[in-house]
Chain A
Amino acid sequence: MFSNLRRKYDFTDYILWFIGATLLVAILYGSYVTLSSGKYTTEQWLNFIVFGLAQGGIYALIALGYTMVYGILGMINFAHGEFFMFGTFGAFFVAEALAISGFLESNPLLSIIIMLAAAMSVSAMVAMLSERIAYRPLRRAPRLVPLITAIGVSYFLQYTARGFFGSGVEAFPNVPALAGSIAVGPITMQRSQIAVFAATGILLLLLWLIVSKTKIGRAIRAVAEDKDAAALMGVDVDRTISITFALGGIMAGAAGVMYGLVFRQVAFYMGFVPGLKAFTAAVLGGIGNLAGAVLGGLILGVIESVGPSLFLDGIGIPSPHQLKDGIAFTVLVLILIFRPSGILGERLSKRA
């Protein structure tokens, strides 16, 4: 019986189990201690969750771009976080102009729509340009090549933004209509969070409609399934891929506006960490799977917001919120190791 075990697993599997078990025990123990100490009230937990969901909505929007590009090209687009960053800057400059003219105050809804339009077009443009210049010529190159290119694009874009817009952190203009909060039962929700939920919901619905109901959506799915076959059926593969990047960019741009409204700041380096987390979200849900990206984003947002208090505070780790990002990346590592196909499994992807 044991010989059978030894045949199937080697020492590397045991190290994995050890890591997994240690983390599980730490999480369970930390949660138990925190919960039994009663340090946080139910309202506080609920607020953590709401905050996490709002943040998760932003991750979800970015994650969609990762997932669509992975689905269609089988490539991790490291530069996607920078598309998001450029969108935020686009929204920022428009918002500033609107704030100075007073339009932002008198007409908040229209202002936000204008900001969305600006951010989406900037992000989509950057995305399409990156694809055209850097990725398209490398479609048939060995796997490592486009991956390295994507890293190069990421740094090029990030430091272009630094050169263009400066290295400081800028404050995103305040939208007076979104200031303050509303009490919904025991939960106090920021108005900006409600706006994020509403906008995210609408955008997801639109994207779903585009991918599942339109001709271009069919083309995207066809190319994701088999590029050569799609080309034989008359689908313009290059154009379809370009549109996929644009759609991803549009979602990232929208996420940029949300980010600006909620966190009220922009900086050239802001794309990296959300980008990495959005990738985590995409993998968590099952990369290539649109619904998975959304689910993964929301779950990750909540884990990240609840986790430091729940897991770490109990163990007695000082200033646990410093390790918020660490928790997100640990989730990434664990998912990739133990369930690389994600929660909902992979779709749109032809890799086994």
Chain B
Amino acid sequence: MRTERPFTLVDAAKLGLYGGIAAVLISLVGMVDAFAKKDIIAGVVSMSQVLLGAMAFTPALFAATRALRNGGKGGALAAGAVAGAVAALLVALLALSIAPLNLRAIFVNATPKLVNELLPVGSEGLMGATILVVAGIVVGLLAALLTWLPATLRRSTLISLGAVTLIALLKDVFSVIIPTDVGRFVYKSNGLSVEGAVVLFITILVIAYLWQILQPRLNRAVDRMPESRRRVLSFVATVGLLALLFALPVLLGSYLSEVADLVGFYIVMALGLNVVVGFAGLLDLGYVAFFAIGAYTMAVLTTPELPLVRSFIPQLSFWAALPISVLMALLAGVFLGVPVLKTRGDYLAIITLGFGEIIRLLVLSDALKPVMGGAQGVTGIARPEGFGMRADSPQEFYYLILISILIAWFVTSRLKKSRLGRAWMAIREDEDVAAAMSINLVGYKLAAFATGATLAGLSGAFFGSKLGSMVPASFNVLVSINVLAVLIVGGMGSLPGVVVGAIALIGLPELLREFNEFRWWVYGAVLVMMMLYRPEGLWPDATRERELLEDKEPNVIDEDPTGLAEDATVPT
């Protein structure tokens, strides 16, 4: 039980400062400019305004939540206003200093256009800055008012705000799925219509509210059910989910199926990396190497090009090349795994990184060009054929990928609950003790490594075939980081987490093309934030959650902005 120092306005200002710094960062990085063209509500609010607003809203919300506990409702309002004002002040200062300080000489995005986007529409100079600060105060007050509401209602409002923004951003997705009439009401050419936004907000608010009230009752009802009934229920749910998954490409159409395919490749890969990082606790940053090996084996074996290779090996079909590709990845996993896994803990990450780079350099080199195609890559890779069909469209590919996901899911979930899974858990928690339980460390690490490599190879083989041609640039270290981020966001060791992570980190950026340029920046930030505030991920695995939350230093909790877990404090 810690006692907490009372929350003062200086603390609120500090929170506002953080928000302001974040706002300045996203401005200078170019995010504001990139999102200015995208409207959330057509002609009313743009994405960049929402983004900047969030940088005032969020700190104000946290400040008000804390102030509410020792300063009452008035204190909450004051804290919210101060936080919002400080955040806005920073943005205003940036807008005012861009021209006089010639910031553009250093920051490419510090353009006159950015100044216009930062200041409220139609205003400029000091006047604009003043309006901006006032706007910040208003946003802060709104956030503070939100804290007055009862918890359920507050949460519903926040969920609804987020959901409406997301629906606006994902126009391309929803306008395909929903009936045309509804689409015409909700969406305009750029963003939501005003009426649409209001109706959506209220609808989602009500649904979220009801759900929060009903969900515990539902849970209790399920808990009370006899075991056999529960089993039937979970069976029905599984079948329903599978049916939905198989029906998905019909609903989604060609473009969205394309995105679904990409998410699928990453799910298979991430399920594989999950065995390595999540189960065995080995940080592998060269994971892309196995993906590349799978893809390249597929390419080299099925392309009509590369005369040198063709003089040794005949051109194979997709189905003949698939097992070979997977096998090659498996062999590479074992062969590379042995030296890698003999090194001690921390070095593993860096040595795998080194291996990944070596493989990329080899593929790129002129030395292996006759075999690998060099920098130009390989084209004419075979597509899956059989039963008189050929998987050409993204929808047809979707089914093949879905099947690989199901296989990967089945295999890894079985492994997790087996003797191997227990051995990996032991290695992850305490290597020495695991060895004293007669677990052969290198052997079991190798099993994890090879399982991961196999799944990466499977994903890679499909990826190569799907693309039809490939260049070495598709296989740089960023792919490894991508997969790792999927895992961290979803939750290390958690299978459903992998799916959630892949949809959030691979699917969303693909649908928000404006965002694509910033994805690595955001991933970096997300990795750090997750590690600081939620290392167990969005859909955590129970054991891993316990591991990752142990020994957390108190000052992390101190900085936990929700402050929900804290004890009551001495009032001011």
Contacts and interface: CB of A to CB of B under 8 A. Distances in A.
Interface stretch (A161-169, A197-205, A241-249): A161-169
If over half of B's interface residues share one DSSP class (helix, strand or loop), that class is named, otherwise mixed; here it is helix
Given A137-B556, A151-B484, A144 B528 contact: no
A74 interface: yes
B28 A140 contact: no
A23 B290 CA distance: 22
Given A142-B551, A144-B281, A76 B346 contact: yes
Interface stretch (A11-19, A176-184, A298-306): A11-19
Given A15-B335, A147-B283, A151-B527, A326 B535 contact: no
Nearest to B532: A137
B550 interface: yes
A333 interface: yes
25 contacts: A12-B338, A15-B335, A15-B338, A16-B338, A78-B349, A142-B551, A144-B281, A148-B484, A149-B527, A152-B527, A152-B530, A155-B523, A156-B524, A159-B521, A160-B29, A160-B521, A163-B30, A164-B109, A272-B477, A317-B367, A329-B354, A333-B355, A336-B351, A337-B339, A337-B342
A237 to B, nearest CB: 12
A317 B366 CA distance: 8
Nearest to B351: A336
Contacts of B358: 326, 329-330, 333
A28 B362 CA distance: 21
Given A151-B527, A152-B524, A164 B107 contact: yes
A279 B285 CA distance: 15
A308 to B, nearest CB: 11
Contact of A165 (B31, B108, B353, B521): B108
Interface of A: 10, 12, 15-16, 19, 74-76, 78, 93, 133-134, 137-149, 151-160, 162-166, 272, 276, 279-280, 283, 317-320, 322-323, 325-326, 329-330, 332-333, 336-337, 340
B364 interface: yes
A85 B35 CA distance: 28
Given A142-B551, A160-B521, A164-B107, A148 B488 contact: yes
B552 interface: yes
Query: Number of contact residues on B: which range applies?
Result: 35 or more
Interface of B: 25, 28-31, 105-109, 277, 281, 283, 285, 335, 338-339, 341-347, 349-351, 353-355, 357-358, 361-362, 364-367, 369, 442, 446, 477, 481, 484, 488, 492, 518, 520-521, 523-528, 530-532, 535, 547-548, 550-553, 555-556, 559
B350 A279 contact: yes
Contact of A155 (B277, B442, B520): B520
Contact of B339 (A16, A143, A156, A322): A16
Contact of B531 (A149, A158, A272): A149
B365 A152 contact: no
A164 B106 contact: yes
A135 to B, nearest CB: 10
A157 B528 CA distance: 11
B351 A153 contact: no
Given A142-B550, A276-B350, A333-B339, 11 more contacts: A138-B531, A138-B556, A142-B551, A149-B532, A151-B484, A155-B527, A158-B524, A276-B353, A317-B367, A323-B361, A326-B361
A113 B342 CA distance: 45
Contact of A141 (B277, B518, B525, B551): B551
A139 B555 CA distance: 11
A133 B531 CA distance: 12
